[in-house]
Amino acid sequence: MNIHIVPHGRITSHVKRGLRAYSGADKVCLLTSDAFENEGVKLQNDLVEFGYDVESHLIDAFDIRSVVDTIVSIAKQYPADNFFINITGGTNLVAGGATSSAFFIGATPYYVLEPQGEDEDIDDLVIELPAPTQPLTFEIEGLQRDLLVTLGRWDEEGRTGVIMREIGEELGESAQKISYHVDQLEERGLVERSPSGRTKHVSLTDVGKLYLKWTGVE
């Protein structure tokens, strides 16, 4: 199944042009902000009349995490399907979040141009971005998985300033072994270390939090 994720603002004409260029779209997931709920309802009704299966998701257009988390949540519902993200509509922040999400979930981002004449081919108005994907479907197992889950739980509890020794005590492993695996996770961008005096604090990055969300641990 081909699923199109489409943020929009007041202007929605790009949505229909983009879908016309992709004749194989099976489902459309609209990302609508509070300010444009009325436009979202009308757009959804129009697309349903055209025969599309449409879902609407409310986002905060000024919170990039809201955009990314919503897109990742949609992708988790359909793990075996193909995703396309129309990055034309909404605020610049929404467009940035949508583009970043394409890297995370392995989607194809595309931009829809405004027609400059009546005879333009619709296919010429849609530009696919050459975005190398970094889908978060790789497996983290064993101690590294336990380490990530532990940091994620502590982050949810508001615990900060975590050091290697504390992680080792929690998981029953030496600080040296924990340090090795933190190195591996840091290379993948999932955790980071920040100096604090003679020690270094360990925490999840936004990508690490996203990975836990993607793989079912939130």
DSSP symbols for 161-218 = ---HHHHHHHHT--HHHHHHHHHHHHHTTSEEEEEETTEEEEEE-HHHHHHHHHTT--
Q: Which one has a higher pLDDT value, 169 or 215?
A: 169
User: What tens digit of pLDDT does each residue of 106-158 get?
Assistant: 899 999 998 877 776 777 889 988 765 556 666 788 999 999 999 999 999 99
Based on its alpha-carbon atoms, the radius of gyration of the chain, rounded to whole angstroms, reads 21
Can you give the pLDDT at residue 115? 82
Assess contact for 122 and 21: CB atoms under 8 A.
yes
pLDDT band at residue 178, thresholds of 50, 70 and 90?
very high
pTM of the model: 0.70
Report the C-alpha gap between 177 and 186 in whole angstroms. 14
Can you give the pLDDT at residue 146? 94
- HEC string of 68-125? HHHHHHHHHHCCCCEEEEECCCCCHHHHHHHHHHHHHHCCEEEEECCCCCCCCCHHHH
132: Cβ–Cβ under 8 A, 6 or more apart, which residues? Answer: 103
Q: Is the pLDDT of residue 218 over 60?
A: no
Cα-Cα end-to-end distance for the chain: 26
Can you give the pLDDT at residue 106? 84
User: What tens digit of pLDDT does each residue of 63-110 get?
Assistant: 988 998 899 899 989 988 999 999 998 888 999 899 888 888 889 999
3-class DSSP assignment, residue 6: strand
- CATH-assigned architecture of domain 2-128: 3-Layer(aba) Sandwich (3.40)
Assess contact for 56 and 40: CB atoms under 8 A.
yes
Can you give the pLDDT at residue 132? 54
Assess contact for 43 and 18: CB atoms under 8 A.
no
Instruction: Indicate the class that CATH gives domain 142-214.
Output: mainly alpha
Can you give the pLDDT at residue 212? 85
Q: Identical fold at 2-128 and 142-214?
A: no
Residue in the block written with tokens 């141009």: 113
Assess contact for 7 and 59: CB atoms under 8 A.
yes
| Burial annotation 72-91 (CB, 10 A radius, 16+ → b, else e) | bebbeeeeeeebbbbbbbbb
Report the C-alpha gap between 66 and 133 in whole angstroms. 21
Q: Which one has a higher pLDDT value, 210 or 131?
A: 210
Can you give the pLDDT at residue 56? 95
Assess contact for 211 and 190: CB atoms under 8 A.
yes
Can you give the pLDDT at residue 133? 57
Domain ranges of the chain: 2-128, 142-214
Q: Is the pLDDT of residue 43 over 90?
A: yes
Q: Which one has a higher pLDDT value, 129 or 204?
A: 204
- Kindly report which listed range (7-11, 100-104, 159-163) carries the lowest average pLDDT score: 100-104
